[in-house]
């Protein structure tokens, strides 16, 4: 009979000869590469980036990067990644300026607060 023993951060599994007589029914979980050396687009390590509305453009960019033979890996894929990033909506400058102005208004001390501080320090 097999059993597991925990020692600190390690788990030690003890098995018997009988445990090894029956073939394993465990399915291997593949990482980013499949056994045939193709990219595993379903790998959780990609965080779902390969699916959805931008998935095909991501696949093109990632494929290019993965198989890049440049000295600086991915140097030849910059255009593919730019096309992919262009699919995401960008905030225009007006929105950024409005957010910046709102932040300044929220963090700037009011005149009354400044007067109270001056009186308190005198």
Q: Can you give the pLDDT at residue 67?
A: 92
| Whether 32 contacts 40, CB under 8 Å | yes
What per-residue confidence (pLDDT) applies to 29?
74
pLDDT score of 121: 56
Query: pTM to 2 decimals?
Result: 0.51
Q: What is the pLDDT of residue 23?
A: 85
How many helices (H) and strands (E) are present in the chain, helices listed first?
A: 5, 2
Name the token pair of 8.
């600190």
Spans of all domains in the chain: 31-87
Under-70 pLDDT residues of the chain = 91-97, 100-101, 103-122
Closest CA to 43 of 65, 57, 59, 54: 59
pLDDT at 27: 79
In this prediction, residue 28 carries a pLDDT of: 75
The SS3 of residue 53 is: coil
Which overall architecture, per CATH, does domain 31-87 show? Orthogonal Bundle (1.10)
Asked if residues 75 and 52 have their Cβ atoms less than 8 Å apart, the reply is no
pLDDT for 30 equals 79
Residue-level pLDDT at 90? 73
Q: What pLDDT does 111 receive?
A: 56
């Amino acid at each position: 009979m097999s059993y597991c023993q925990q020692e600190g951060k390690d788990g030690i599994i003890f098995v018997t000869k009988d445990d090894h007589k029956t073939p394993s029914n465990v399915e291997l979980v593949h990482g980013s590469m499949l056994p045939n050396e193709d990219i595993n687009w379903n790998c959780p390590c990609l965080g779902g980036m390969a699916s959805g509305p931008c998935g095909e453009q991501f696949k093109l960019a990632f494929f290019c990067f993965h198989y890049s033979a440049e000295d600086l890996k991915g140097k030849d894929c910059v255009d593919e990644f730019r096309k992919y990033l262009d699919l995401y909506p960008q905030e225009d400058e007006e929105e950024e300026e409005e957010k910046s102005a709102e932040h300044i208004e929220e963090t700037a001390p009011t005149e009354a607060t400044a007067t109270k501080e001056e009186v308190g320090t005198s």
